[in-house]
Amino acid sequence: MNISTDDFGSAADPGTLSRLRHQLGLAADAEGLLDVAFTTVDSPVGPLLLAATPKGLVRVAYAIEDHDRVLDTLARQVSPRVLRAPKRLDMAARELEEYFQGQRRGFDLPLDLSLSRGFRLLVQQQLPSIGYGQTRSYRQVAELVGNPKAVRAVGTACATNPLPVVLPCHRVLRSDGTPGGYAGGTAAKTTLLNLEAA
């Protein structure tokens, strides 16, 4: 990777630092050294961190989850070669924007599901079968995956979903119809449900 330090100017200049990060991301991508690309996008539920591997979108994170902590976890669990590279996430950003504008009801993104395993992965893979604007209870999802007694485990699988919104765990509610917990907070879950109900 050949990036001259003459291109950087003063390290205190935010514009220069931004250009440096952008050049570094492009160079790392071109050299095949970028294992996890990330960016942040604005949304009606606050800033979302999007991260992708060459396989596909691997993580969507709410600000409440602490984006720096999420990036540290990705560096430990996936690869330490993590860089901001928004171009790699253009498709994901566009589909999310369409979803939030009410123009998209499902996602057509390649996904990297390597952050989940076992029963959690099984549950998360079933979430897109809950249609746009529909909801299911944790018990109904447990029945859907063939383990009716695993209601709490379904709750854990939803709480640890690395791809909220895209794998719509916000559509899973308590049996009494109340929202229950959510990685982005109850307000975010309610916002998503209201958006789909409109």
Among candidate residues 49, 150, 169, 172, the one labeled active-site is: 169
Give the other-Cβ count within 10 Å of 173's Cβ.
Answer: 18
Q: Which residues contact 102 (CB under 8 A, 6 or more apart)?
A: 195, 198
Q: Are 70 and 49 in contact (CB under 8 A)?
A: yes
3-state DSSP call for residue 10?
Answer: coil
Q: Are 109 and 89 in contact (CB under 8 A)?
A: no
How far is Cα 89 from Cα 72, in angstroms, rounded to an integer? 19
169 is catalytic: yes
Give the other-Cβ count within 10 Å of 76's Cβ.
Answer: 9
Q: How many helices (H) and strands (E) are present in the chain, helices listed first?
A: 7, 6
**Continuous H helices in the chain:** 14-30, 67-77, 90-100, 118-126, 138-144, 151-159, 186-197
Q: Hey, which residues are catalytic here?
A: 169
